[in-house]
Amino acid sequence: MPHNVAMTLGSSSRSRRSIGLRAALTAIAAGTVVALSACSPAVTAPPRAESLEGGAPAAASGPLRVAVVGDSLSAGRSKFLGNGLDDKSWMTYAQGDGIEFAGGWAKAGATIEEMADAVEPVEADVLVIMAGTNDVRFGTAFADARPSYESVVDTIGADRVVIAAIPPYERAPQPAATYDADLAAWAYSEGYPVVDPWTFARGADDLWAAGWSADGIHPTVSGYERLGREFHELILDATAPVGAATAVPEAGRAPGSVPGSGSGASAG
């Protein structure tokens, strides 16, 4: 998709914004209980293995090549990512200024199991997975979905993995919140950053904020644009070399998190 469609933000304006992995997320990995509220960080990452070993990722010589795996929230207007990016593809607005779309797989209605069956290796620096809404729709618990996430990661073969929270799901808000919490706990245990690009669209009681969704499942076109811009910043934040972000967490902030300035907004 031409870069003139993408609405990206310059690196000089890169901010650290707040995450909302919901108050339902109360336990994260390895027996450590971390209470996260709607004001907690936008990028929540455990200590990276390379930092524990005294090393750090090498600085990228060019834009990050980002692969995407997901469902209708990533597939675009055509309902299949393989047909190309369009105005309902968040990657349309995330690419450019340090990010290059590398490919991937996304299809409307797909569960993580279907994604695992369909994906093929992609030459990518970063894999972004945003899945789970259709698992919730079919009543699939994360414990049953976990092997498929692991399969997607192994098959794509990207150097780094970023796990995205799912948006509000008004048909089953509490099961969606539970799935999201379990997904985040698994990601944390694997060392994958967890990002929530939906903070702008989250309203009260795990529902959509007014103006950002017409069906309680998908964002509006302006919502996809905002989603892509949020993803752009979060991907760069989550994959920055160790020490490039805040070195010492602020008081009351989860270890490994990136501080934020908030991203609340209204549609329009």
User: Which domains, from first to last, does the chain contain?
Assistant: 11-42+62-241 (3.40.50.1110)
Is the pLDDT at 11 greater than 50? The verdict is no
Instruction: Work out the pLDDT band at 42, boundaries 50, 70, 90.
Output: low
Q: What is the pLDDT of residues 90-113, one digit of tens each?
A: 999 999 999 999 999 999 999 999
AA letter at 232: H
Instruction: Work out the pLDDT band at 32, boundaries 50, 70, 90.
Output: very low
Is the pLDDT at 5 greater than 50? The verdict is no
260 or 242: which leads in pLDDT: 242
223 or 38: which leads in pLDDT: 223
Structure tokens at 3: 């870069």
Cα–Cα dist 101/109, whole Å: 22
- Rounded to 5 degrees, φ, ψ at 145 are -85, -20
Kindly tell me the burial class for residue 88, based on how many C-beta atoms sit within 10 Å of its own C-beta (0-12, 13-18, 19 or more).
buried
Q: What is the pTM of this model?
A: 0.71
Largest CA distance in the chain: 48
> Following DSSP, what letter does each residue of 138-187 receive, concatenated?
TT--HHHHHHHHHHHHHHH--SEEEEEPP---TTSHHHHHHHHHHHHHHH
Is the pLDDT at 257 greater than 50? The verdict is no
Q: What is the pLDDT of residues 239-251, one digit of tens each?
A: 987 654 433 333 3
